[in-house]
Amino acid sequence: MSDPTVVIAAIQTVSGPCVEDNLTTAGALIHEAAAAGARLVALPEYFAIMGLRDTDKVDIAETPGHGPIQSFLATVARQHGVWLVGGSIPLRSPVAGKVYNSCLLLSPEGYVAARYDKIHLFGLDLAGQSFSESRTITPGDTVCTVPTPLGRIGLSICYDVRFPELYRAMGSVDLIAVPSAFTDVTGRAHWETLLRARAIENQAYVIAPAQGGVHPSGRRTHGCSMIVDPWGVILGQRETGPGVVLAELKLSEVARVRQSLPALSHRRIAAPGGTA
């Protein structure tokens, strides 16, 4: 049986406070990726809004299944016939003044195949920068994987990448999505190392679309959107600015790595809530 090569694409943006402008930019980059043959396209965290204030995302939060951002995702997935990792969008939570930071996976028919709410909330007080996502975000509590014709996909968001137990809890996945908006200071120190480690230890592809540049708020994000193979090799990356990163995915490569070095079957300590 043949093992077809599938082109996947990570989108990099430098989003601002205007949702309409951000969706226009994202739409053009998705079109570029699809025209290059991509069957799966992944957008970065906060692709639809990087506000001037943390509360800006709360102000434009959508109800699940309704709203212009979700309509955009469904429409472009259907128009281009691609699996679309919808970066992250703010969805209303039951806590006043807070949202879920949610990643939606859209099918080529435009249906929501999965939703993941970011579990680990970023906090930083370093080099004159201070962030506390818990002020405006309600954490999720459910690990999310979904089978697709392209392989089983595990969803995560940005700061999650620092918590390897999340990925162990996913079980056997072929592709891990990590849409992100890493700060420049933490990105320069840890971004590539963390992504390659998650690929190597889980023997899976990692697709990490990111925000990359200086935003209207003055915040600088690290960029370096990349796609990593199950051996930890970076197949493609983009340093800064809006653009598309393309690479090829083959499920046979996942199988080859796991057969050659069966580390996953050698585990002796159970994942949280799982078995060794």
DSSP-derived pairing of the beta strands 38-42 and 6-12: parallel
* CA pair distance 204, 43, nearest whole angstrom: 19
SS3 assignment, position 85: strand
Q: Is 45 one of the annotated active-site residues of the chain?
A: yes
Q: 6-266, what's its fold? A: Nitrilase/N-carbamoyl-D-aminoacid amidohydrolase (3.60.110)
SS3 assignment, position 59: helix
Other CB atoms within 10 Å distance of the CB of residue 232? 16
* Residue tagged active-site, from 133, 158, 224, 253: 158
Burial class of residue 210 in the structure, from the number of CB atoms within 10 Å of its CB (0-12 exposed, 13-18 middle, 19+ buried):
buried
Digit-by-digit pLDDT tens for the chain (276 residues) are 457 899 999 999 999 999 999 999 999 999 999 999 999 999 999 999 999 999 999 999 999 999 999 999 999 999 999 999 999 999 999 999 999 999 999 999 999 999 999 999 988 777 676 778 889 999 999 999 999 999 999 999 999 999 999 999 999 999 999 999 999 999 999 999 999 999 999 999 999 999 999 999 999 999 999 999 999 999 999 999 999 999 999 999 999 999 999 999 999 987 665 545
Report whether 61 contacts 90 (CB < 8 A).
yes
SS3 assignment, position 196: helix
pTM: 0.95
Q: Is 118 one of the annotated active-site residues of the chain?
A: yes
Helix, strand and coil in the chain, % to nearest 5:
30, 30, 40
Residue 135 DSSP label: G
Other CB atoms within 10 Å distance of the CB of residue 63? 9
* Residue tagged active-site, from 62, 103, 118, 253: 118
